[in-house]
Amino acid sequence: MTEVEAPPERYTLLKSLSTPAHIASLAFGHAGHLFAGSDDGSLRIYDLSSFKVLKAVRGLASEVSSIVCVKRAGSEMRDAWVAHGRQISKFRLESPKMIQNPEDALVTIDVAETDVDVLNELALNMNKSHLAFTLDSGYVGVIDLSTNAVTRMETKHESVCGSVKFVPDRPRELVSGGYDTVLLHFDFFQGKVLSRRQMDPYSVEGGMALSPPFVMSMAMSCSGVIAAGTADGRLFIGFGGERNFTPTKGLKKKAKKYEGLDEDETLLIKVAEGPIVAMAFSESRTLTVSTLMGVLTQYNLIYEEDAGSVVLQQVWQKESPGLEKVNALIADEKRVIVGGFAKDGQGAIEVWKQNASTANIVEAPKTSE
């Protein structure tokens, strides 16, 4: 019998970092900088070649739950919008100060209606003109960055709203996900709901649902594919809003409305035994997800238009060796980075690097914006 050599691992653990407090949020600056927010109100910026801390912010009163980086002309160091408690602050990290304090923020905006309301996720639209936010109270809001004016959508989620993403090529449209098991699609200029999708608590491919499908995480690809992860281990994929290129049909024209939540071009399938708490697209049809307990899985997403079917093609799966629980995940073409905390209670970040020999083993169908 001929022994078949096992295929090489798609990713290798490049570096594990320990932090004093649990990691709550992650973001790329430019390709070489990692922004990491912690539950003690601190923000650290790492150089991803040396893994040294370049800059930091300390003393924010609450957990840094989300980070959005913005390019500043003439600088390699990105500015950062940071969600902490009921406030959103903007910091200019290209500063002589190695460590900044809340007083160093360029602007701080209070967006919550009550003292107990807490921010969850931030998102920036493609025009970089508006910043969206979500709140424990269920509200979705938007900040006009030219005036810092805050508006809230007329319809709110009935429970915690934890996720929000802008729709590519539609800078005034966004999708939010809540613990009420609903995805809402808004035109924020109008403040109105354009479409919605309720996660069916009973009907599920791939297994039986044992807990409510609270929406715990979301991702939006550059081409308009939407993904959402639920508390009962289900993965929602919507292709209806994708703009793609096919050799026979060419570039699909921009539809009059975003149809990413339309049932005809979606899949809802059970893929994990625990909550899917974090996810990110690295390419238009390559999605990496993580469960709360640190099972990392990468999929190629395939939409067979003629058959009207959606297929998940698993290309990599690994259990984190050092994370007890995962809170955040980001990815690009060569790396997957996850953060949370380790068994010893310290904050933890793992940087996984794609092996060059596996980069082209499995390719998703090509799409373009």
18-22: long-range contacts at Cβ-Cβ below 8 A with a sequence spacing of 24 or more?
Answer: 18/342, 18/346, 18/347, 18/348, 19/44, 19/346, 19/347, 19/348, 19/349, 20/346, 20/347, 21/347, 22/327, 22/340, 22/341, 22/347
Residue-wise pLDDT for 74-126, tens only, equals: 899 999 999 999 999 999 999 999 999 999 999 999 999 888 899 999 999 99
Out of 70-84, 293-307, 354-368, least confident range: 354-368
The predicted model gives 117-137 an average pLDDT of 97
The predicted model gives 295-324 an average pLDDT of 90
Average pLDDT over the chain, rounded to whole? 90
- Percent pLDDT > 70 in the chain is 88
The predicted model gives 10-18 an average pLDDT of 97
The number of CA neighbours under 13 Å toward the Cβ of 351 is 19
Q: What is the pLDDT of residue 367?
A: 36
Which pair of structure tokens corresponds to residue 53? 């801390």
Helices (H), 81-201: none
- Percent pLDDT > 90 in the chain is 77
Dihedral, CA atoms, 298, 303, 258, 172, nearest 10 degrees? 30
Chain Cα centroid distance, residue 217: 7
Architecture of domain 8-110+320-359: Beta Barrel (2.40)
Which residue(s) pair with 328 in the sheet?
Answer: 339
Domain spans of the chain? 8-110+320-359
Query: Above 60 in pLDDT, residue 183?
Result: yes
CB within 8 A of 307, min separation 6: which ones?
Answer: none
Out of 96-100, 149-153, 197-201, 331-335, least confident range: 197-201
Q: How many CB atoms lie within 10 A of CB 320?
A: 22
Residue-wise pLDDT for 322-356, tens only, equals: 999 999 999 999 999 999 999 999 999 999 999 98
Which pair of structure tokens corresponds to residue 81? 């919008």
Q: What is the pLDDT of residue 330?
A: 98
Which pTM was predicted?
0.91
